[in-house]
Structure 1
């Protein structure tokens, strides 16, 4: 009887973890939709990012204060530099480039390019840690980029000019985030995941607000209420909640399973873009998306086997 109850608890715990991972993936995916909807009111990327980070800041300040009480040891000078540098690179610069890119490309293409970060992380890790890239991973990466090419050429025929610039900006955003992931592993192990994330997000928030303050007059905040509503929704449903849901999912079902469930992200973005933005949904786009998903899953599974 006790074993049955224990098994039931494990099953429920796993189901909750799967649900949290799904909600986190969908929440992160909704960001592109909310950004595109806000751009309809002609708000610029600097202002929109500043609003998103400002609305998110109270939550992360609260987490930072909580984490500080949990960790009595202060950050070393080296860790402070790491938090500052990685916060600027991984959260501020990556988000800013992504917001800029969304001015020119579809939400579906943006999410697929962002989803390439595991392939970039493999290449960067190989360069930094002198690790060889296996033939399976190289084939998987080729499949990923072939899929991106299909979706890119689909959008090239349906969107106005600027798609090359937009795709390049989002690709640079993905590269920035990948560099952050490679560099953050050791820092997180020393500092703690919650404390590191909160501190890095506060750094990114300050950078966003300072950029807005130095480049925009205060009158730039005279925006329609709809923009503020979308920025608040972005902060809560596509920033704060997914971050915590993701951490809870990893705790319950592990990082490998969580990352695999996150593969639903590009699919949910494409579907939401079709519903809310009236973006096209063609066979070419579906085929390209399938190739990207297959390639990334192959890279992720191979990485798990290598670590094991």
Structure 2
């Protein structure tokens, strides 16, 4: 017999789900580093996107074949009615959002890009309230204001020192964050039906077709044959560590703990990006970066803490 107290009991803290989400966030933070290194060698945004997918898509296709051979019980759900939404949502998250982000990276520093991009949890929250029936939590507004004040500090420094392309780069990355936030909500709905592995394979393969096709239209096959070995190396690193591994980890986290809880782990990504950007790319890290980053991470931590508290108490 189920009592009223047991029905209202909060869901237990899913350590595995949060572990998946955290690992995915940290690995995704390497994406900007590898992209910047490829840009420095002369690669275009479209070519970097295509190289990423050339490495990643075969892996997803192999996994899809393995799922087919294993006879996963969810495969029967892959009717046109189900597979088309998976393809559309995957394209949104892995092509549209990624392209906006990579395009923005051509204009702004990797550490600033990551700090702007990581505001997507706020958009996840608002989309949840506006469109998906989540409850508004006004206590989350203060962490958001703290975070954006930190971004304004770094933006102001960049505007004074390196203003060229700053506005367009910021808007492109912010657009990527908005699209990715909507993707997280829509992806969870599909993954609950077909499973995270199957959804990831279908979505990533579809996005790969768009990315590779776009590069072929712009540069042709010769665009790939004329690439230097170093660009190919960065493409491999981007495909494996910045795409394949984090995509499965992030989607597994979404499937276990939901979009909002998964997004609350995003604050760990900028720390890794900043360290790598300073050490590998030689980007500046001034007192303004320190203040801005501290404010961004403080706001994110407060936001994540409130989200975890809400998940553990059911409020």
Distance 1:304 1:67, change over 3 A: farther
Q: What is the aligned counterpart of 1:136 among 134, 139, 145?
A: 139
CA distance in 2, matches of 1:180, 1:261: 17
**SS of residue in 2 equivalent to 1:186:** helix
Paired position in structure 1 for 2:292: 288
Distance 1:55 1:224, change over 3 A: same
**Shift of the alpha carbon at 1:302?**
2.4
RMSD, aligned CA: 2.7
CA distance in 2, matches of 1:248, 1:192: 9
CA distance in 1, matches of 2:106, 2:139: 35
Q: How does 1:206-245 map to 2 (within 5 A)?
A: 206-221=209-224, 222-245=226-249
Paired position in structure 2 for 1:270: 274
**SS of residue in 2 equivalent to 1:73:** helix
Q: How does 1:81-100 map to 2 (within 5 A)?
A: 81-100=84-103
Deviates more, 1:73-82 or 1:89-98: 73-82
Paired position in structure 1 for 2:8: none
Distance 1:30 1:224, change over 3 A: same
Paired position in structure 1 for 2:105: 102
Q: How does 1:173-212 map to 2 (within 5 A)?
A: 173-212=176-215
Distance 1:244 1:41, change over 3 A: same
Q: Tell me if structure 2 keeps the 8 A contact 1:140–1:295.
A: yes
CA distance in 2, matches of 1:101, 1:254: 28
**SS of residue in 1 equivalent to 2:29:** helix
Q: Tell me if structure 2 keeps the 8 A contact 1:107–1:273.
A: yes
Paired position in structure 1 for 2:32: 32
Distance 1:42 1:94, change over 3 A: same
Deviates more, 1:70-79 or 1:35-44: 70-79
**Shift of the alpha carbon at 1:67?**
3.0
Paired position in structure 2 for 1:43: 43
**Is residue 302 of structure 1 aligned with residue 306 of structure 2?**
yes
Q: Deviations over 1:235-274 (max 9, x none)?
A: 1111112334556778999999876655221011111111
Deviates more, 1:71-80 or 1:53-62: 71-80
Q: Tell me if structure 1 keeps the 8 A contact 2:56–2:244.
A: yes
Large movers: runs of 4+ above 6 Å: 16-21, 247-258
CA distance in 2, matches of 1:119, 1:257: 12
**Is residue 112 of structure 1 aligned with residue 119 of structure 2?**
no
Aligned residues: 295
**Shift of the alpha carbon at 1:297?**
2.6
TM-score, L = length of structure 2: 0.84
CA distance in 1, matches of 2:248, 2:210: 22
CA distance in 2, matches of 1:258, 1:124: 15
Distance 1:78 1:297, change over 3 A: farther
Q: Gapped runs of 5+ residues in structure 2? A: 1-14
**Shift of the alpha carbon at 1:22?**
5.8
